[in-house]
């Protein structure tokens, strides 16, 4: 999680925002569309098979097109993959 926070910190240059998202993305000061995106990624990370057409429809309702939905899914999946690899190899476990 720390590497993801650092990535976001470097992109946004906003430590307060990064901390707010880390603490609870549902109450972080982001746009309504970003809240929907973060909820989607959170659900995908926890149990992707529970996602359905209604989740994609919700993303579209707040303005995301198919390209953006694909991109957020790929990026979220890539971070999940990298986390699993790092966990399996003991990266960061001193």
**Maximum mean pLDDT: which of 9-13, 60-64, 73-77:** 60-64
Euclidean distance between CA atoms 21 and 87, whole angstroms = 22
Q: What angle do CA 20, 23, 28 make, to 5 degrees?
A: 35
Q: Which two tokens stand for residue 29?
A: 């000061």
pLDDT tens digits, one per residue of 8-55: 666 766 677 778 787 777 888 889 999 999 999 999 999 999 999 999
Euclidean distance between CA atoms 23 and 5, whole angstroms = 11
pLDDT the model gives residue 12: 61
Alpha helices in the chain (DSSP H): 2-12, 15-23, 32-47, 53-61, 66-89
Nearest residue to 37 (alpha-carbon basis) of 17, 13, 61: 61
pTM above 0.85, yes or no: no
């Amino acid at each position: 999680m720390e590497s993801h926070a650092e990535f976001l910190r470097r992109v946004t240059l906003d430590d307060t925002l990064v901390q707010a998202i880390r603490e609870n993305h549902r109450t972080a000061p982001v746009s309504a569309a970003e809240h929907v995106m973060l909820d989607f990624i959170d659900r995908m990370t926890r149990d992707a098979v529970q996602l359905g057409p209604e989740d994609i429809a919700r993303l579209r309702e707040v303005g995301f097109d198919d390209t953006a939905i694909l991109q957020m899914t790929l990026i979220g999946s890539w971070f999940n993959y990298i986390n699993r690899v790092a966990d399996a190899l003991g990266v960061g476990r001193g």
